[in-house]
Structure 1
Amino acid sequence: MTGTPFSEAKPTLSYFTWAFIVTALGLLLGAWLGWLSTGTIGGMLAVFFICAVLAVLEISLSFDNAIVNANKLKDMRPEWQRAFLTWGILIAVFGMRIVFPLLIVVIAAGIGPWQAVVLASTQPAEYSRIMHDAHLPIAAFGGAFLMMVGLTYFFDAEKDVHWVHWLEERVSRTATIRGVEVGVVLIFILIFAKLLPGAESTAFTTSAIYGLLTFLVVEFIGGLLDQSQQTLSAAAKGGVGAFLYLEVLDASFSFDGVIGAFALTDNLFVIAIGLGIGAMYVRSMTIMLVERGTLQQYRYLEHGAFYAILILSVIMFCQTITHIPEVITGLGGAALIGVSLWSSIRWNRREADPAA
């Protein structure tokens, strides 16, 4: 594939070398933390198991994230691809899995960053309570942002490949109406705001509007930055703006996993290990998808990912009203991507042998 920093296609397992290394180190570190905190073999194995489950949870929730990342990365210049896959993953692992939960506690509890670290270390139950109390605005913000991501893909007048043809073709035609996707998101916000009591309704609406505005601001800034780069070089593609977009997108995908992780453990450091392992697999899957040109080979794979994003956004809104197990979110998204992959394979076979 031209224009990428990657080498020729290689064995599938080789893409996951670093992910396997991080998995081994992370699970060993988790076991060590379990031994330090409990002093028993049972406690050590329990923490080891929780780290493994969190990693699987993160991977299951992030199939669509990897596909969307690859969709954007394939058009980026090599230096920006490398930047996202190095600095971007550091931000994803350390920023979203460690700094983000601490920042929530800093803001919600009105304490300093160091006090938040101490609270996470010495009073994990209180730390967990603060995180759960902040769930509503986080879910509203992330849900609105991800809904815009999903709708923008389908509300595209130039989109000519349709998976659910009868639906996507009609949606694509309505994309000529200016701001139609914003209107759809606002309708969802109004519906869910009506279902929540007074103070919660206000918090939900405010946070969701911020999520919507964040998407629009990132798109606007990204367009300006990339346009200025294109002025300098006609070959410039997907620079600062695309990098910024991917980082905010990664953050939005992380909300659900970070909050859901507290259902398994109150220990911030165990959560960081488990979700960090999962994030490395997302990076590996992204590299494999871009290098092998998988999105070009399987024409409906992107569709499945963006449908999964739309469902995830609605689930995040629903979670402001009632708890929905993360396993449903993860399996639902994985199932959609699996069906889209199967549909792509069938289409490829028909093209190769029209008589089949």
Structure 2
Amino acid sequence: MSQPTSQTSTLGYFRWAFIVTVLGLILGGVLGWQSEGTIGGMLTVFFICAVLAVLEISLSFDNAIVNANKLKDMTPVWQQRFLTWGILIAVFGMRIVFPLLIVVIAAGIGPIDAVILAAARPDEYARIMNEAHLPIAAFGGTFLMMVGLSYFFKQEKDVHWIEVIESRMARFASIKGVEIAFVLLLIMLFSRLLPEAEASTFVHSAVYGLLTFLLVEVLGGLLDAQQKTMSAAAKGGLGAFIYLEVLDASFSFDGVIGAFALTQNLFVIAIGLGIGAMYVRSMTIMLVEKGTLAEYRYLEHGAFYAILILSVIMYVQTMVHIPEVITGLGGAGLIGLSLWSSIRYNRMERQREASSGMKHSHA
């Protein structure tokens, strides 16, 4: 990854995403023709792939911004590893292997049997996936909540978008483990709203989500500290890579489960979400290379607020279904607001500098 530059056009960053979109939609059309044998069936699958791609992109604006936030502190070598190997893990691991793994564990069958089940009995496959929604939502929601709160509960954080909330959170950051206590309290409150059998599953899965976040943080710190002792220039290496992979997995839970509302075909889901994941990669590269996060000071704030809202939505989804469109639009709306606030701030700063310059020239 090069230093921030504006040589590449915005469309240039999405070249590979466009290529994958065309190939993915063609493959989706072929799958539709093979499974239905009609033009109508082919167009239906084609349309579902397109909708799934849009769904994944809308749910992943915040993912791209958070990735860019972490990537800008990583060495070029590890940046490149994440954007090549990391994206392969994201597309194939989370969109194909993860749903299969859930069925393997939930149904107690082998991986090959899970693939056969997905291909031959998609309705049964979808039923198992939907039954696994509660523990997945609890785990993913807790991990994302810790990610969001850790951003705001920082003593050194001095740039605030929503001053009244963020300044208080920064002040309370001096209390060790305050975000952990907050999340544990929320877990207990939500568990009381669920039936007894489901409450136990929810608490266990949520605690595993919390432990995973803490483990990744500790492991990341140890690995990156070890690299720093080997080389003073090494910064943000394997530890940051693992953190980003677990983070991407948590973001993917919602999209993967939600996709089953549109189709029960695992392969169609993989194509649609895989297309969306390529746009996330392109957005991430663009944000890092163009230095967009530094240029728009509140953009990160919007992304982390979107993460917090997504985590709460995942908790609420253990009780009632919330359409993915609402989740996606909510996150995109917050990021749009933060972008608008950043542009307004930049404009006011330029006006202030211009008026200050005029005063000096008159003096």
| Distance in 2 separating the partners of 1:154 and 1:271 | 34
Residue 123 of structure 1 aligns with which residue?
Answer: 121
1:36 maps to which of 34, 37, 54: 34
CA contact (8 A) 2:4 2:291 kept: no
Whether the 8 Å contact between 2:5 and 2:290 is mirrored in structure 1 is no
Candidates 139, 164, 167, aligned match of 1:166: 164
CA distance in 2 between counterparts of 1:312 and 1:238 reads: 26
Q: Corresponding residue for 1:148?
A: 146
C-alpha separation in 1, matches of 2:331 and 2:71: 21
Give the whole-Å Cα distance in 2 for the aligned partners of 1:96 and 1:180: 31
Instruction: Give the TM-score, by structure 2 length.
Output: 0.96
1:248 and 2:243 matched: no
Indicate conservation of the 8 Å contact 1:5/1:78, yes or no: no
State the SS of the aligned residue for 2:217: helix
Opposite residue 78 of structure 1, the aligned amino acid is P
Determine whether 1:59 maps to 2:57: yes
| Aligned position for 1:265 | 263
Partner residue of 1:175 out of 168, 173, 178: 173
Structure index of larger Rg? 2
Distance in structure 2 (CA, Å) of the matches to 1:331 and 1:195: 26
Distance 2:139 2:124 in 1: 23
1:231-281 deviation digits (Å, cap 9, x = unpaired): 122222100100000000000000000000000000000000000000000
- Identity across matched positions, percent: 75
Q: Distance in 2 between matches of 1:202 and 1:298?
A: 43
Contact 1:59 1:281 in 2 (8 A): yes
- Give yes or no for contact 1:92–1:251 (8 Å, CA) kept in 2: yes
- Could you report, residue by residue, the CA deviation over 1:210-247 in whole angstroms, capped at 9, with x for unpaired residues? 00000000000000000111112222210010000000
Alignment-derived partner of residue 11 in structure 1: 9
Which consecutive unaligned segments of at least 5 residues does structure 2 have? 356-363
Please tell me the residue identity of whatever aligns with 1:260.
G
Q: 2:219 aligns with which of 203, 218, 221?
A: 221
AA of the residue aligned to 2:117: L
Q: Which residue of 1 aligns with 2:230?
A: 232
Q: Distance in 1 between matches of 2:246 and 2:29?
A: 32
Query: Match of 2:312?
Result: 314
Aligned amino acid, residue 229 of structure 2: T
> Given the alignment of the two structures, is residue 86 of structure 1 paired with residue 87 of structure 2, yes or no?
no
How far apart are the structure 1 equivalents of 2:189 and 2:65? 30
1:79-118 to structure 2, matched below 5 A, reads: 79-118=77-116
1:119-165 CA deviation, whole Å, 9 max, x = no partner?
00000000000000000000000000000000000000000100001
Equivalent position of 1:48 in the other structure: 46
Q: State the distance in 2 between where 1:62 and 1:90 align.
A: 16
Task: Note the C-alpha offset of 1:353.
Answer: 0.7
